[in-house]
Amino acid sequence: MCYAVKLATIATIIFLTGCVGAAMSASTLAVKSGPRQELQPLAESGDSAAQYELGKSYCCMGVGFDTQTATEWLCKAARQGNADAMYELGRIYQGDVSRTMAPGQKLMQAMNAKESRPHAYLWLSLAASADHPDARARLAKLKKNINTNDGVIANRLVEA
């Protein structure tokens, strides 16, 4: 998509969402950032449930969100066997960084999300092995759409 079309699309989204989008973002920030202060010390001490919740509080789009920070905390929880964190990492690495159907977010996701199918495959495989309820279905969809090169890399990651 050329830059001018992207810019026009973004301008249209901003125009259509207007103050409603800003109000939604501000209220979401208040809801999400409140528990961070309580979760931070627990997460830093190694509590995987707190690491998962803190990661979720940063995920994934909008004011006050930071996918990189979310990924870091989710990774810490996943390394301790937290299946929910494994699933969230798989979802994020698939490029699914939007939790809502708010106007324009899915379009922005499609234009800007960085994905790594091999890493998504790895984390979803681990989540499925840990019996996460949604991981198997998401992994099956990913398997249908993964190319040969990504599949080889994914299998190497899973075997490592």
Task: Please name the residues in contact with 13: beta carbons below 8 A apart, sequence gap of 6 or more.
Answer: 103, 104, 107, 108
CA distance 2 to 70: 30
- pTM comes to 0.69
Which residues are CB-contacts of 158 (< 8 A; sequence separation ≥ 6)?
A: 121, 122, 125, 126
**What is the domain partition of the chain in residue ranges?**
3-115
**Model confidence pLDDT, tens digit, residues 16-70:** 333 333 333 333 444 455 688 899 999 999 999 999 999 988 886 666 678 888 8
pLDDT tens string 87-139: 999 998 888 776 555 555 555 555 555 678 888 889 999 999 999 999 999 99
154 or 94: which carries more pLDDT confidence?
A: 94
**Chosen CATH of 3-115 out of 2.40.50, 1.25.40, 1.10.760, 1.10.3470:** 1.25.40
> Which two structure tokens, joined as six digits, stand for 37?
């202060």
3-class secondary-structure state, position 63: coil
The pLDDT of residue 107 is 53
State how far the Cα of 107 lies from the Cα of 151, in Å rounded to an integer: 27
Q: What is the amino acid identity at position 59?
A: C
**What secondary structure does DSSP assign to 40-98, as a single string?**
HHHHHTT-HHHHHHHHHHH-SSSTT--HHHHHHHHHHHHHTT-HHHHHHHHHHHTT---
Cα–Cα distance between 5 and 11 in angstroms, integer?
A: 10
| CB of 73 closer than 8 Å to CB of 60 | no
155, HSE (Cβ side, Cα atoms, 13 Å): 7
